[in-house]
A and B are shown apart, each in its own frame.
Chain A
Amino acid sequence: MRAVIVGCGRVGAGLAERLAREGHDVTIIDNNTEAFSRLEPDFPGQAIRADGTDEDVLRRVGTDTADWFYALTEGDNRNAFAAQMASEAFGVKNVVAKVNDPVRAEAYTQLGVATICRTRLLVDALAQFTGLAADPGASGVRDVERHHDHLDESAVPAGASHPGH
């Protein structure tokens, strides 16, 4: 399987290492060369210094043939943008955007973009550690299409239109 990862922070680098170790073909993009120092020296994938929100860059790294696309930069908007470019312009089937602002994460989930929200995950983990009940919407990657049945209707933001398509 081919994976393209935008953003070589701790999460991006960690995921790249893990996927590559399992034998997947991984391309990781970051606009800062120093970010690649987070990768092991013998990282078998491709590390490319470029702007991962630039359509030409994504074309050059073969995003159209990727099975997975992860937008994991520090910027929520960059991630939402890159993820939608991957799915809409390059037709990638499995796309995840890291969106740390819970409101924006929810909005994008409703728009059909699978999101992972660090804030909500951490809050829920800590709340559960404290003995509170789990937040059913907080676990893992949130994807309206796949988990529609489990979607807590009360979590739909006021005024949100129909999800996605």
Chain B
Amino acid sequence: MYIVVVGGGKVGYYLAKELLEAGHELVILEKNASRARQISDELGSIVLNRDGCEGKHLAEAGANRAAVVAAVTGDDEDNLVVCQMAKHHFDVPKTIARVNNPRNEDLFKHLGVNEIISPTRMVLGAIEQDIPVHELLHLAQLKGGEMELVEAQISESSPALGRKSTDINLPEGSSLFLLLRGNSVQQVRADTVFQAGDKVLAVAKGDSGEEVLRRELIGDSEPVGSSN
């Protein structure tokens, strides 16, 4: 597979190294001359000392025959422009962007970037797993970010407490599928009744789906009254 990598920082460098070892054909575009030289000293002549944001440089790199263009510089705006140029100018089937500000993810998706990699979001997710906050934990993105694998912990104040799984008002496109109770892992069945301390793995679709799941499984931030 022919791959164009834009940005020869740490991410670009190790990405290229792994891809080369896996037998792929690739070129790295790195605009900094000394960095470009450093990479070619280590990985061979796979580096073009060019700014990958410019159409003519992408053309020189053979973007028109690339199966994938991966924009992994440290600047979100550069990564977006690379992906847009690759998609609209060279009809590249798959564009991948590194996104540093997680708030930019939606805009990138909306503007047609195929895959979005957010290191910030990943670290955030890893930290959230260790904090006992009563929020949905984001475990993984599915289908290019369209769906999210989340975990919810059932607390004493959860609206789902003591209810059967079939009584939970699930948002469209979402499903509950695994229950972590004590040391056991079981499938969520129609007759599963939720207890405090249960962890439920679920798939949520979009922000609105996540919000409904959060409300149903975790509850509002204020404790739910005993009358419920």
Residues of A within 8 A of B (CB): 53-56, 75-78, 80-82, 84-85, 88-89, 101, 103-104, 107, 110-111, 157, 159-161
Contact = CB atoms under 8 A, between A and B. Distances in A.
Contacts of A88: 107, 110-111
A76 B54 CA distance: 10
Range of interface residues on B (Cβ < 8 Å) = 20 to 34
A84 B103 CA distance: 14
B54 A75 contact: no
Contact of B55 (A75, A77, A107): A107
A159 B56 CA distance: 13
A88 B87 CA distance: 18
A80 B81 contact: yes
Task: Give the 3 A-B residue pairs with the shortest CB-CB distance, closest first.
Answer: A81-B77, A77-B77, A77-B81
A159 B81 contact: no
Contact of A103 (B55, B64, B78, B103): B55
B73 to A, nearest CB: 10
A48 B80 CA distance: 25
B194 to A, nearest CB: 36
Interface of B: 53-56, 64, 75-78, 80-81, 84-85, 87-91, 101, 103-104, 106-107, 110-111
A31 B185 CA distance: 51
Q: Tell me if A's interface is mostly helix, strand, loop or mixed.
A: helix
A77 B54 CA distance: 10
Given A53-B77, A104-B81, A157-B89, 11 more contacts: A55-B107, A77-B75, A78-B77, A81-B77, A82-B77, A84-B80, A101-B54, A103-B56, A107-B55, A107-B89, A159-B64
9 contacts: A53-B77, A54-B101, A55-B101, A55-B103, A77-B75, A77-B77, A107-B85, A159-B89, A161-B87
A84 B111 contact: yes
Given A84-B111, A88-B111, A161 B101 contact: no
